[in-house]
Amino acid sequence: MDELGALFHGFAVVLSPLNLGLMIVGIVLGVLIGVLPGLGGANGVAILLPLTFSMSPTSAIIMLSCIYWGALFGGAITSILFNIPGEPWSVATTFDGYPMAQNGQAGKALAAAFTSSFVGAFIAVVMITFLAPLVAKFALKFGPPEFFAVYLLTFCSFVGMGKGSPFKILASMAIGFALAAVGMDTVTGQLRLTFGIPDLMRGFDFLIAVIGLFGIGEILLSMEEGLKFSGKTAKLNPRVVLETWKELPRYWVTSLRSAAVGIWMGVTPGGATPASFMSYGLAKKMSRDGAKFGTGQVEGVVAPETAAHAAGTSALLPMLALGIPGSPTAAVLLGGLLIWGLQPGPLLFVEQKDFVWGLIASMYLGNIAGLLIVLTTVPLFAAILRVPFSIIAPVIIVICAIGAYTVHTAMLDVWLMLGFGVIGYVFKKLDYPLAPLVLALVLGDKAEDSFRQAMLVSQGDLAIMWSNLLVGSITGLALLLLLWPLLSRAWAGVRRPKRIELNREQPVD
């Protein structure tokens, strides 16, 4: 029970007035990011990262992670009130949330969505509290070959578990690796792919890429759609909330199942969006009221929201314990760690106890604070969305530009951001996934470093990747996942093809 002692120490760290204040500011900003089109968890956190440069690492991570929780909460508001998902993982919430709002149950739907988000996050945080130290302790035994194997597993699981064409995922990842290679080679000190341009010596900062790809790209997509928010108004009074809370324990099976799906999809790089779709599909299939799903069932709001939040929260487990981000937002937080002068990885649990346990404690408190804040401020955020998109969009682009500029105070970064925005738009139009690109950009040089260290140890012998049971099984699993699309296709050829459980058009990354 060392974890509990450490956790209470973490609570002591978080409960200082400054940190509590930052937590509330973070949640409010996060919800705003969640409801605004064009700003999501990853680029929202990236834009606000410079705000934290002058803070202590613990205060900074508390604020940033609270922005993230807020963004996770916020997506549901637009889904339920306007039938326009604010974030991709709240798409499944529109299926039953909006019909509920149409039936005059908007308050109930919102209360159910927020509460089950909280439940999903809470279950995932409990899992992180007890699992992360164990994984970190285990990972302390890792050497370069093990780390490279884990990186390889992360990359390959994108191919194996991603939806859509595996070749598109590989192509996107390869572009990410190429971008990661630009700049100075850390082992030999040679310049690579700079073409004599001095500004490229710095390499491509992934924060710029995240802001551009996810922020500008999405604004372009939304402009094309001609987004218009018109829908139901929300009134959330305490009576409705209490009545909903009385009803929710009835769906405990759905909650637990969705949380399990979410945690699994979060820890493996499946992501929150597939998790929310999958748990919605499972709930529809297993519920007795499955036929009524889509006409305004509380259970249809509970399932995707629980799963999305559980996935979003548990995506931080590999980042914390191994220093390997499973999602773009985790990558941004990891980038933050480096900027604040911390070395991400399993040693964090040994050397930076305040930081790690402060973060974990803030996951508990941040979600409680988030639940209270969203329950009380929904009408405010709904009102913001009634501002026309033609006013919101330029403001967001300016915010993105400021965010990109402050990373290195270089004007080139703003142009790069715009360039990445165009790439993001084109990628999405062609149905290429962006997350593999971002993660390859973040992890590319780390993976290269550990690979080259491993090669130095083994004097160039690849067999080191199979030299012991641990590294061998991770490498084997990685290769299995890499070949999974081929294997599953071969398997489908032998057996009768299975019915497609989810829509083919779901997001590819």
Partner 1 sequence: MPVIALTQEMGSLAKNVALRLGELAGLQVMRHEVAENVAGRMHVETSLIHRLRGGKASLRERFSTDRQQVAVFTAEEVFALARGGNIVLRGWGATLLLRPVPHVVCVRITRPFEQRVDWLMENLETTDREAAQAEVRRSDDAHANRMRAQFGVTWGDPLLYDLVINTERVSVDSAASQILALAAAPEFRETDASHACLEGLALSARVRAALKADEVTSGTNIGIEAAGGKVVLTGLVLNEQERDAAARVAGAVAGASSVENRLRIMAVSRKFTHSKT
Q: Smallest Cα–Cα separation from 145: which of 489, 397, 456, 406?
A: 456
Looking at the Cβ atoms of 375 and 435, the one nearer to partner 1 is 435
State whether the Cα torsion 285-290-295-299 is positive or negative.
Answer: negative
- CB half-sphere exposure, 258, CA atoms < 13 A: 39
- The correct pick among 95, 251, 364, 484 for binding partner 1 (CB under 8 A) is 95
Looking at the Cβ atoms of 121 and 240, the one nearer to partner 1 is 121
Backbone angles phi, psi at 280, to 5 degrees: -65, -45
Contact between 76 and partner 1 by CB under 8 A: the answer reads no
Cα 254 from Cα 270, distance rounded (Å) = 20
- The correct pick among 18, 291, 456, 490 for binding partner 1 (CB under 8 A) is 291
- The correct pick among 70, 120, 183, 312 for binding partner 1 (CB under 8 A) is 312
Contact between 213 and partner 1 by CB under 8 A: the answer reads yes
What are 367's two structure tokens?
């979600």
Cα 137 from Cα 132, distance rounded (Å) = 8
- The correct pick among 27, 44, 51, 89 for binding partner 1 (CB under 8 A) is 89
Cα 293 from Cα 100, distance rounded (Å) = 11
Cα 72 from Cα 363, distance rounded (Å) = 13
Shortest Cβ distance from residue 288 to partner 1 (Å)?
Answer: 5
Looking at the Cβ atoms of 208 and 508, the one nearer to partner 1 is 508
Helix, strand, or coil (residue 227): coil
Contact between 310 and partner 1 by CB under 8 A: the answer reads no
CA angle (428 as vertex; 422, 431 as ends), nearest 5: 140
Helix, strand, or coil (residue 192): strand
Contact between 507 and partner 1 by CB under 8 A: the answer reads yes
Contact between 56 and partner 1 by CB under 8 A: the answer reads no
Contact between 217 and partner 1 by CB under 8 A: the answer reads yes
> In the window 398-427, what residues touch partner 1 (CB under 8 A)?
424-425, 427
Cα 144 from Cα 320, distance rounded (Å) = 18
Task: Tell me which stretch binds partner 1 (CB under 8 A): 25-33, 106-114, 232-240, 309-317.
Answer: 309-317
Beta bridge partners of 224: none
- The correct pick among 132, 401, 435, 443 for binding partner 1 (CB under 8 A) is 435
Backbone angles phi, psi at 37, to 5 degrees: -70, 140
Number of residues that bind partner 1 (CB under 8 A): 66
Residues forming the site for partner 1 (CB under 8 A): 40-42, 68, 72, 83-85, 87-89, 91-92, 94-95, 213-214, 217-218, 221-222, 225, 266, 269, 271-274, 277, 280-281, 284-285, 288, 290-295, 308, 311-312, 315, 327-330, 424-425, 427-428, 433-435, 499-509
